Structures are given as structure tokens and as C-alpha cells.
Structure 1
């Protein structure tokens, strides 16, 4: 550095000679070295008292030049022109703003010019400041504003005021459609929008459409800034409202504020996206919790590690994703963070796919105005580290145990070997003398892991006896060769046990030996399995004999039901023949009731004969047949009655079916005989409901809309045969009977299913 400093100082003195008092003065117009004229430049400067300017000051002025019409030269062009020394200077009076005058005082620059040959550092400090001001001026030169105003006088006045401040006004739009087109064309830095415009589109709608395709600040101008107008414009997110007539001070203040705010927001968004991208690119997980230990943010890498989407994690307590045994430790660490301590702990996390995940949480608390508001943590995946540590610990324990074993005395080793030999002898004796055949196998798979065969490792004597195969003929050989079968017998079952470790048991007919075997399979180790089997051929034959006997009995029972049904039919036919010779109406009625009772009992046997189950019948279909046959036997009332059925599906044992059928028969018979007397007005209605209840109970309700049972008649004490039969059959069923005289008569039978 010290070697090159004299060379650099000499070059800098030559550079300063370009800005001599003869070459540059208070203001300057600069032309390019090629002779082509450059638009006149305004140098913001103040006159020097001695008629010339110091080199740093002139250089500063050159860097701060701005063109009329908001055009500017780049810093590279200015520096290039100054290096060539081809600038022509004409005096032009100008004043520098107060802050620049304070910085560039003539006395200071004169002093600096005298000392620059000795020190370059003051010039570098000034140069950096000038570069920042040039960048600021260039940004101001790019400020482009579009005015949307249908009053041309107001728009022209605003344009004049803005251009006087250096803003560029490329277009004035009178209608909302024109404003949208101008924004698409010029991409302005700001839009001044009148709310009430000519044409069908107002300023609010135009702003709403503009905001859909470009991010540009919008300032509304209106003569009526009432609550309704402001409320309608709020969703377009305006940066300010200006009331007409617009004051210049308010106009410039709001424009400057809006531009500054928009640039700040844009930088903030850019910064946020940059830092968010940085956070999301980090393989570690960034997580934030509030003061209630609820997750408020977690970085995207958490999805790959935990298996949960970010949306399923945010908003939930962090303890929900932690192994329960570690929650007290986590809460203790959280309390330390609440107290202001930084912590570093290791936790076992619950993943969605069940993978064991360990993380190291490096956490620090967040305080706002000395109030704890939450924590921020970095979670590092240490699962592999944990596994390595556990494996290392396990191997260390194994090594220590092995060393302890080696350190034992020879006596202990001999005793252990003796016990091992005794146990091995016991297992060998059990394997040798067990009454079931047994064999030990190893599964064989191809390169893709598909089972293809199994090796017979060992067999016991009972295996030899049952199969006729000798140990020396099968040991160490593949099953396909031993059994002359490809694939070998029961490969699927054996492979499933050997590869999953789940035991199975099945019965099978082994055709080559014409024997039935019950085979139990279990896996003592991966890819190995043991089979134990017993000959159940005699049992299978006995079962076949029993099954044949049961089929014969079933046929016999069906025949009995058929014959009983036929006998009931014979009795009905005899009663019908006898009934034809009876001339007494009461006696005819008695015969009819007796026939209905017999028909109800015969129907049970008919249903049993027609179904596969000889012990239970379908109660709804049984009741429907009884009810319809009873209605048909009483043509005067039955054929005119409306039948309403609500029957839930229920199966009834044969021992309960006959009493239930007789009870229903007697109740319906009384209904058809007495409910609808000749003086009854209206259409007869009979309702039958059957519902199941709690405790395996069933309730059957039979009601009508007839004249009702007289108050003097008590079903429990009535002396009629029908009601006496109902009472006795209910006792046989263990049922309860209740009746209601409201709006006719309703009997309800409730009993427990067998």
C-alpha cells in the first residue's frame, strides 16, 4: 500500500489539474469530447469569492448536475468526461440548497484543495457523500406522475406546479379508461386520481383496475370527501385524500410522503422476501411461539421433517407435537425462557408418519417493552446423531459387558456352559419326543425378495413317522426337491410367517398322503420358521359323519314340520266340512274362531318349513299373513278396513312364535267383531306397530278407531275364552299387556326376546 501511494498521489494531482481555475468556474455547460453538444446542465453551486472553484468542489458540482426536463447523465458519463478534460465552462449563476452550502463552504474547499496532495482521505469521504446525493437526484428525476382529472384547467394547473418541482407528467387522462391505458403505457411512480370523472367509470373503479396489474401509489382528489366516498375508496388502499381546491403545499407534501412511503414499503417487501427466502433455504427449522406456547410461525423445512403441512402446525401448542414423556422438560425450559434465559435442549418430536425424530432446540426469549411476548427457536435435526450416540452407547455397554464376562472366573464359565448344555438338551428332548411332527426351515427368496423355496434344516422323529421321510433324506435340502413340487407345499403361508413374524395356524388336506393335518407355523428369527403339525384325519372323518347326521336330522325336522302343517290343514278341512252342516250363527262364529287359531299355529310350521333356519322365523312376515287372513275371514269389516303396519325386522324363536301368533289372533278377532258395530260411522282403521327396545325387548301394539271397549269390561277379569287365552299366553311368554280406551281400543304386548 505504501509503495503505490506516491503513484496514486501523482495521478490524483494530475486529475485535479483538469479542474483549474482557467478551465472551470461557478457554473458550466459541458460538451462531449466528440464535439456533439450536450443539453445545457445546471450546476447547483454558489460563486466562489476569488472567481474560481477548488477542484473537489467543481468535481462535486459536476456530479450533482441535473438537466432540465428531468434528464440526467450517469455518474460514469460525468466521470469519463471529466477524466478526458474536454469540458467547456460558461458561468451560470445558481444557488445551492442550504444543506449543500453548509457542506461545501468555499473556505473549507480551498483548505482541502491545498491539502489534497498530502492526504486523499478527506476527498474520499466527500466523494462518497456526493455519490449518495447523485443517486438521490437520479431517483427524483425518475419520478413520473399521471394526472387523472376531467377539468382541464385544474389538471393543467397541477401539471405546471408539479413540473416546476421537477416531476415528469407524461399524460393527463380525463376518463377512467384513458387513465388505465396511460398507466399501462408509462408505468408511473404515482397517480393523482379525481374520484368523479367523465364517462361511465369513476376514479375508484379505475384505481381498483389499475391496482390489479401494477403496484403504484394513488392519491385521490375530490371536492366531497364524505364518509360514504372514503368508505367506497378504502378497498383500493389510497395513500392520501386531497380536498379541492388543492393547495400546493398539501399537494407536494402528500406526493412526497406517498412516494417515500411506497419506496419504503417496496424495500420492506423486498427485504422480507429476501430474508424469508434465506430462512426457507436454511435446512434447520425456524419456529416462533407466543407467550402461551402456541406456534405462530414455522419455516417450510418442517413439512419434510415432520410430515405435517405448515397449516396443521401453526396455531397449535408445541407440546402437541412432542413425546409426552418430554413435555415436563419442555415446560421447564419454557419457564426459563420466560424468565429471560437462553436455553438449548433436545426433544423427541412426534412426526405424522411415525418416524422417530430428534431435534436440538436453541431458543431465546423475545421481550417487548420488558414484557415477555414469546420465543424464537432454531430446531436442528439430530436424529442421526442420536442414533449414532445410542448405537455407540449400546456398543460400549456390550463391550463393557463382554469385558465383565471375560473377567469372570473359569468356574462361572464352566457352570454357565453346563447350564447351557442342560437347556439345549431339554430343548432337544422336547423337539425329539414331542407327539406332533415338527420341522425347522429357512425361507429362500430371489434377488427381488420374492419367496421361491424353503430349506428343511431339521426334523424330529414324529415328522419321519407321519410323512415317511427320513432325516438324512431331507436335512439341508430344498422343499421343491424333497416334495417334488414347484412351488413347494404351502409356500405362501410359510413365507408370510417367516417375513412378517406373525404366527398362523391352518388345516389342510395333503393329497400325496391323503391325510388331513393341522399345521401351526411361527418364526423364531427373520427368514426362519418352524412348523408343528398333527394328523387330524380321524377327526375330520368323525366331523363328516356328524355333519351327515345333522343333515339327516334337519331333513327329519323339516318333514315333521311339513307333516304337522298338513295335520293342521286336515283339521281345518274337517272343521270346514262340519261347519257346512251348522245352521246356528253363534256356533258358526265359534267354528270360525277355532279355525283362525289353528291357522295361526299351522302358519308357524309352514314358515319354518320354508326357511333355512328351523329354530327362528321372521316375525313381520308371519304377522302380516295372520292379519290378512283374519281380515279376509270377516268380510263385513275386514275387507273395508284400512290396515296400517309399522313392523321392524325381528326374528322370533319357535317357542315364542306360537303364543305371539295366538295372542295377535285373539286381539284382532275381538277388534273385527266388536270395534266396528253397525252404528259405527267412518272408515275402519286398524294399526299394528312392532318396535324393538332396550334390553332385547319387543313391543307389539294393536289399535283401532272403533267404538272402544266399554268401561265396565276389564280384560284381566273378563270371562271370555279369547281374553282368557290372551292372559294365559302372556304369562307363558312372561309378557306384559296394557290397553288404552282413548280414541278406540289399543292393546300393547311387551316381552323379552329369547
Structure 2
């Protein structure tokens, strides 16, 4: 197996050929032999060697140290000097180019093999260290960037909750001055819808760059709040069952508005004398199914879903379409059943 491509730069042809045989016997490929630094620099980029063994004193105007200095600026190739010169001045100049070895002539072939092997090993280790440092720097940058975005998301989430509370408090204060019972009920319904959204933000927890809602637990809290708000805690019971449904905010908010409207309608119209509400959520084939039923008398004969009902029915139908589904209604003397199949939504999907 070839151990690497080496270029030899030596103005003595016999010495160059000797080095070539030593390298080839050791399993290296000699990519080229040059006698001058100028010829080396002209062809180096095409050859792409793994290492260069170079004499210092060469034909032409540039010596080996000049060539090594140019190579260091342009390419990351380990250079090994092979020279008969050992004066302090030459060694000082050579050291400035950070060579991987400085082998004095006359050399032993073992010197060539060992120094070249060590040079290639050190060069590979250096590249790996540089790679690790670069990757660490990139990872640190990405980590800081993610932390900054998460902090911004938490801040926005916090501000949304605060703003919702401000609107709820404003409407609640205004309701105190309303004397018409019908208008008061109208505004209380809107306050309850806003609270249903606020509860979504209160119960959301971050996961994989977004906020997730445990919708079963949310429905239990929502139903408890609405029952208390309507003063029906003593005569209405709500049960929630089915599969664990962890939904993102894009899905949970419209679904919460639909669920809040269904519960409010049951409390106001279907269960005036008390009764039960059962909410079931199931997961299947990439979809979700919400089944809502109450024990009331069912929809009146002159009311149909969605056109024949109130604004609330039309709102539910529009929100169902936003979630990529539809609501089916079954009504009988044993109560009413709303069956809603939908898909989890993602912001990017809605944009496209």
C-alpha cells in the first residue's frame, strides 16, 4: 500500500535517484524530482504531494529555504531539509520556516525513512488538532447561538403570557360595568376563550426548538376552569381519556379554542340540569381524533352544524379547516357527539 506522495528537490541527480529508490523501497510514491526551487513552485499545486524532501542549496535564484517560505504561505505541506550545510546562519534561516526535519548529508537511508514517517505523522496530528479546535469553536458558536435563541423564545413566550393577562384583566374589569346580562355573557365567553389560550402558554414546555403541550392534561385543567367559571362544579362531571397527545403550539391553540367552545356550549345549553362530558383523544395513521360527547338532549331540530348554529359553530368549523380536518356531528336523545379528525400543524408547512 502506498504510504504517501513525496517530491524530491535535489540538484545532484545521483543523490536524487538514491533518495527515490530509498523511498520507493519503503512504500512511498515519488511524484517528481526537481533540481531548482523555481521548477518546484511552478508544478507544486498540480502534484499535491504529501511531503517534500528538499536540499537547501539549489540551482536558480531561490534556495530551498526561500522555496519553503513561499510554500508555507500558500500550502500546508511538510518540508524536510536534506543538506550538507549546518552553519548557524543557515540553521537559523531554516528554523524560521518550521521544517519537519533537518537531515545532514551524508545521510543513512534509515534517517530518510524515520524522519519522513515522523514528519507525516506529526503533520497529520497537527491537522487533526486544528480540525478539533475548529470544530470546538464552531460547536461553541452554535451552542451560544442556540442559547441566545432559546432565551429570546422564552422572553417572547413570557411577554405573550403577560399581554394575554393584561387583555383578560382589562375585559374582566369592563364586565363589572355591564348591566345587560346578554352582553355580559358575550364578554365572559371571550374572556374564557382568552383564558384557554393563556392556559396553553402556561402549560407549554420547550422541546427540540419549539413548545409542546400535553393536551390531555391541558383539557383536564381547561374543563375544570370552565366548570368553575360557570358555577357548575357540583353537577357536571368531565372525564378525559385516550392516548397521550403532545402537540405543538400551532396545533394546540386552535384545538384549545374548539374544545373550550364545545365545553362552554354544553354547560350553557345542554347540561342545564347537570350531566356528564366525556372527551377522548386518539392517535392513528399520522392523525389525531378528538371525540367530544355530552349527556344532554342533543342539538335542537332547527340547529345544524356549522351554518345553522351560532358564531361559535362557524368559528369551530374554520379552526378545524386550519388544522387540516373537519368536524362531524352526531346528535340523538342520548346527547351530542362531535368527532374531529385533524393533523398536527407546523409553521413552515402553513407558510408553504
Q: Shorter-chain TM-score: what band? A: 0.5 to 0.7
CA contact (8 A) 1:620 1:649 kept: yes
1:460-519 residue CA offsets vs partner (Å, 9 max, x unmatched): 645334657xxxxxxxxxxxxxxxxxxxxxxxxxxxxxxxxxxxxxxxxxxxxxx974xx
Alpha-carbon distance between aligned partners in 1 of 2:30 and 2:300, rounded to the nearest angstrom = 87
Answering whether residue 343 of structure 2 is matched by residue 748 of structure 1, we say: no
Counterpart among 639, 658, 663 of residue 253 in structure 2: 658
Answering whether residue 286 of structure 2 is matched by residue 690 of structure 1, we say: no
5+ residue gaps, structure 1: 1-417, 438-455, 469-514, 518-533
CA contact (8 A) 2:216 2:240 kept: no
Equivalences for 1:487-636 in 2 at 5 Å? 517=129, 535-608=131-204, 610-611=205-206, 614-635=210-231
CA positional deviation for 1:689: 0.6
Residues 516 and 583 (structure 1 numbering): CA distance in 2 closer, same or farther, change over 3 Å?
Answer: farther
* Aligned equivalent of 2:50: 432
Secondary structure of the structure 1 residue equivalent to 2:50: helix
5+ residue gaps, structure 2: 1-20, 32-46, 52-74, 79-113, 346-352
Alpha-carbon distance between aligned partners in 2 of 1:631 and 1:541, rounded to the nearest angstrom = 55
CA positional deviation for 1:459: 3.5
Answering whether residue 345 of structure 2 is matched by residue 729 of structure 1, we say: no
Secondary structure of the structure 2 residue equivalent to 1:712: coil
- Report the count of equivalent residues: 248
Equivalences for 1:442-521 in 2 at 5 Å? 459=117, 461-465=119-123, 517=129
* Aligned equivalent of 1:168: none
Residues 632 and 537 (structure 1 numbering): CA distance in 2 closer, same or farther, change over 3 Å?
Answer: same
CA positional deviation for 1:647: 3.3
Alpha-carbon distance between aligned partners in 2 of 1:536 and 1:611, rounded to the nearest angstrom = 31
Answering whether residue 265 of structure 2 is matched by residue 670 of structure 1, we say: yes
CA-based RMSD of the aligned residues comes to: 3.2
Alpha-carbon distance between aligned partners in 1 of 2:163 and 2:195, rounded to the nearest angstrom = 11
Residues 692 and 723 (structure 1 numbering): CA distance in 2 closer, same or farther, change over 3 Å?
Answer: same
Structure scoring higher RCO (CA < 8 A, sep ≥ 6) equals 2
1:350-379 residue CA offsets vs partner (Å, 9 max, x unmatched): xxxxxxxxxxxxxxxxxxxxxxxxxxxxxx
Alpha-carbon distance between aligned partners in 2 of 1:644 and 1:703, rounded to the nearest angstrom = 10
Residues 688 and 427 (structure 1 numbering): CA distance in 2 closer, same or farther, change over 3 Å?
Answer: farther
Higher Cα radius of gyration: 1
Alpha-carbon distance between aligned partners in 2 of 1:668 and 1:688, rounded to the nearest angstrom = 10
Equivalences for 1:61-210 in 2 at 5 Å? none
Residues 629 and 463 (structure 1 numbering): CA distance in 2 closer, same or farther, change over 3 Å?
Answer: same
Secondary structure of the structure 1 residue equivalent to 2:308: coil
Secondary structure of the structure 1 residue equivalent to 2:320: helix
Residues 639 and 535 (structure 1 numbering): CA distance in 2 closer, same or farther, change over 3 Å?
Answer: same
Residues 628 and 422 (structure 1 numbering): CA distance in 2 closer, same or farther, change over 3 Å?
Answer: farther
CA contact (8 A) 2:292 2:338 kept: yes
CA positional deviation for 1:639: 3.5
CA positional deviation for 1:592: 1.1
CA contact (8 A) 1:431 1:460 kept: no
CA positional deviation for 1:563: 1.0
Residues 422 and 597 (structure 1 numbering): CA distance in 2 closer, same or farther, change over 3 Å?
Answer: farther
CA contact (8 A) 1:735 1:752 kept: yes
